Structure 1
């Protein structure tokens, strides 16, 4: 795929008024969420749940693309219709998570390195043949008051993200570059901003070194938020101001779109902060969302593994997507939660 075609796909992903549904949880993560909801942790139940998400009526009104995992991208409905085709017919671009997870970073206790580069070129070619148009790779950064993340952790994950992105563009897939500064811990919002800026500087330096074309990628960062255990939590407006300041300092204007992850935020908090971001003028980039739990959680609880709850669960998913669509124009209000 040519660079203009990749840039066009990136623009479609970041389309005004739409975001991404990340349904790319690993088997282990999905099973843990099922266990918490009292759902059997089986392949059949994962298949049923992901089919429920993909076939939600009206999802394409608010969602531009879906991020799948290897298990899901190869699955089909009972009538043989591939999940990829179902997504495409709903107007959704298909993406695929291609990292193989975070492992301990040698000689750096408490830090992780994301793996999956071995054999990635061939895997990307296979996913493109299945109909994928974009891919995702996540690097994670733990934070404390002073020590973490180390320069070694930032360098290692930034290099992996850049090599992944270059391989994606070679294979004709738009890379979603996801450097996540984790919310776990008691660090302040100021410390989160300091670390996020350092991580993003490292990532864009490595992207340039690997000759990745910025106009053909999507950035998926965290918002600048104090750690969950920090005694001082900031208003939505303060989160928006710190986040935009951070991004303006570091992210090149050539990036066609920024789609925030939700991390450990509730669906309502994520929507409120996304809304606050769109009530502040002057962003050089389209700002949108690529949420997993913040979109799925109500639907999962309602479904509870029971087919009789399918329609209500799908309605809950689409409701959360519509809340976030409203936030993209600064029109979200918590009153929407009761409608």
Structure 2
């Protein structure tokens, strides 16, 4: 399971995980927020070059180190590229002290029973082999919970833990992410069903294996305390889910032992038009605020 230092950093490190894993579908939106309009690229290849330039700019910024950013989730294409002349995962750990994860899911099925399941991942074993070879520590797969439907939620969580077991078989640590939509009707009720389903799956895990969980900030502060305390859980991280940075950090600070794994709330306010000094200052401010909310 990763190297000893990486495991220790994930279990105990004071900081948060940066989600730099926008995929093809969410890249135009991420670029637009970054001040790069769709007219700036003519092909998917150009689009991915631009998002890689943004990710490189973030990863090489002075504040982006293991002191506050203990991990980063990468998109598969980022794993296959270089940052500052080194393979991305290697650069993050060796040069920045940031533990690298890989987004492995292939998107979502259509909604049924109030949830969206993970699409099949027929090449997952090959992807995980490649990831392990490139120094990736863990994986992340996101599914969605839209309504408080017990059958749907139980099936969604069971599928996630099945994928998680496959990841663990490759010596990697899975981040299991069943996201409750922040505008879901009866969100608190959906969270109650999710917590029950998670504890049920965690209790069934054998041996000394551990998983990580990425969960929506709950309606009730410290609602996931029993999950955080579970011996099979290495860490519980929170997604920002569309909340603004101020909202997300405010809610996170009220959830003890939960740390951030923000994407949009991390890059909010960063722009391609900023010079190096302005960009680095804005990113440092974001990292400081998200870190502070994570160490409560």
Give TM-score, length-normalised by structure 2.
0.86
Does the 8 Å CA contact 2:17/2:72 hold for their aligned counterparts?
A: yes
Partner SS, residue 27 of structure 1: coil
| CA distance in 1: counterparts of 2:167 and 2:130, whole angstroms | 12
Select 1:295's aligned residue among 250, 266, 286. Answer: 266
Partner SS, residue 82 of structure 2: coil
Decide whether aligned partners of structure 1 residues 328 and 32 sit closer, same or farther in structure 2, where only a CA change above 3 A counts.
closer
Select 2:225's aligned residue among 237, 248, 267. Answer: 248
Does the 8 Å CA contact 1:10/1:216 hold for their aligned counterparts?
A: no
The structure that is helix-richer by fraction is 1
Deviation at 1:161, TM superposition (A): 0.7
Select 1:97's aligned residue among 103, 125, 148. Answer: 103
Long gaps (5+) in structure 2:
42-46
Please name the residue that 1:195 is paired with.
190
Residues 149-179 of structure 1: CA distance to partner in whole angstroms, max 9, x if unpaired?
Answer: 4334213311221011111111111111112
Please name the residue that 2:153 is paired with.
154
Select 1:312's aligned residue among 278, 281, 288. Answer: 278
Does the 8 Å CA contact 1:17/1:62 hold for their aligned counterparts?
A: yes
| CA distance in 2: counterparts of 1:31 and 1:12, whole angstroms | 33
| CA distance in 2: counterparts of 1:158 and 1:10, whole angstroms | 24
CA RMSD, 1 decimal: 2.5
| CA distance in 2: counterparts of 1:71 and 1:196, whole angstroms | 33
The structure that is strand-richer by fraction is 2
| CA distance in 1: counterparts of 2:134 and 2:6, whole angstroms | 17
User: Within the alignment, does 1:74 sit opposite 2:61 as a pair?
Assistant: no
Partner SS, residue 257 of structure 1: strand
Does the 8 Å CA contact 2:75/2:103 hold for their aligned counterparts?
A: yes
Does the 8 Å CA contact 1:200/1:251 hold for their aligned counterparts?
A: no
Where does 1:60-71 land on structure 2 (aligned, <5 Å)?
60=65, 61-71=67-77
Long gaps (5+) in structure 1:
143-147, 226-241, 279-285, 331-339
| CA distance in 2: counterparts of 1:161 and 1:139, whole angstroms | 8
Where does 1:1-339 land on structure 2 (aligned, <5 Å)?
1=1, 9-35=6-32, 37-39=35-37, 40-41=40-41, 42-60=47-65, 61-77=67-83, 80-88=85-93, 89-105=95-111, 108=112, 111-142=115-146, 148-185=147-184, 187=185, 191-209=186-204, 211=205, 216-225=210-219, 242-244=220-222, 246-248=223-225, 253-254=230-231, 255-278=233-256, 286-299=257-270, 302-303=271-272, 306=273, 309-330=275-296
Deviation at 1:263, TM superposition (A): 0.8
| CA distance in 2: counterparts of 1:261 and 1:80, whole angstroms | 30
Does the 8 Å CA contact 2:115/2:156 hold for their aligned counterparts?
A: no
Partner SS, residue 136 of structure 1: strand
Deviation at 1:109, TM superposition (A): 7.2
Deviation at 1:256, TM superposition (A): 3.0
Decide whether aligned partners of structure 1 residues 195 and 251 sit closer, same or farther in structure 2, where only a CA change above 3 A counts.
farther
Partner SS, residue 20 of structure 1: strand
Does the 8 Å CA contact 1:166/1:212 hold for their aligned counterparts?
A: no
Please name the residue that 1:337 is paired with.
none
Mean Cα deviation higher: 96-105 or 196-205:
196-205
Decide whether aligned partners of structure 1 residues 293 and 122 sit closer, same or farther in structure 2, where only a CA change above 3 A counts.
same
Residues 7-52 of structure 1: CA distance to partner in whole angstroms, max 9, x if unpaired?
Answer: 8644412434211000111112011232453433512211211111
Does the 8 Å CA contact 2:140/2:174 hold for their aligned counterparts?
A: yes
Decide whether aligned partners of structure 1 residues 109 and 221 sit closer, same or farther in structure 2, where only a CA change above 3 A counts.
closer
